[in-house]
Amino acid sequence: MFTKARLAIVLSKLDVFNNPKPHLEQYPTDSEIAASVLWNANMLGDVKDKIIADLGCGTGVLGLGALLLGAKQVFFVDSDSDAISICKENYEKIEFKLTNPHYYNEPILKFNKKVDVVIQNPPFGVQNKHADKPFLKKAFEIADIVYSLHKIESEGFIDKLSKDNGFRVTHVFKYSMPIKQTMDFHTHRIKRIRVGCWRLAKQKTF
């Protein structure tokens, strides 16, 4: 049986990007934050026995954590073949018996499988403004429940986009995310930014 602390420890041992690509904003998802997001999602009934998509999965920390918490199936989707390779290696590194990983090396816009839940950490739009918008719109197309990490300043944008697509905000979990010095243009060893994980639920129509 996993605890949140044990989950964070397992996720902290996974490999991160060898050569992160700035235009894709490939920052590793902090293991403590990933564990917290997944734990909260599981407590709300959105992980165990669910079919989940990790859009822009990167090295797979969110999707693999979901499998560890008992997700029925996880789709790992990323346009970068290097990221998918690391994700597969991370799956093999985990000592626990996991089942049903599915890898899709393609742009998220091409992914059209219906799932129960999307759990994602999309680009924050630092390099390209609103780079997270296509991720949210795709998530709204394929799932009724979405967990998505964004800079806290995006609150108004997310609220409006969600409402325009028939979704409502049910929870916002706030964190201070460490961004480590992984790119040539970074000037600080670690910089912390305020982020939120939004839980978005499809509005029911009667």
Of the listed ranges 19-33, 87-101, 136-150, the least confidently predicted one is 19-33
Q: What are the φ/ψ torsions at residue 166 (nearest 5 degrees)?
A: 80, 25
In this model, does residue 49 exceed pLDDT 90? yes
Q: What are the φ/ψ torsions at residue 173 (nearest 5 degrees)?
A: -100, 125
**CATH class name, domain 4-202:** alpha beta
Classified as helix, coil or strand, 73 is strand
pLDDT at 130: 74
Comparing CA positions, the residue from 72, 50, 52 lying closest to residue 62 is 52
Q: Which residue has the higher pLDDT, 29 or 183?
A: 29
Model pLDDT for residues 122-171, shown as the tens digit of each residue: 987 555 677 889 999 999 999 999 999 999 999 999 999 999 999 999 99
In this model, does residue 185 exceed pLDDT 50? no
Q: Which residue has the higher pLDDT, 181 or 34?
A: 34
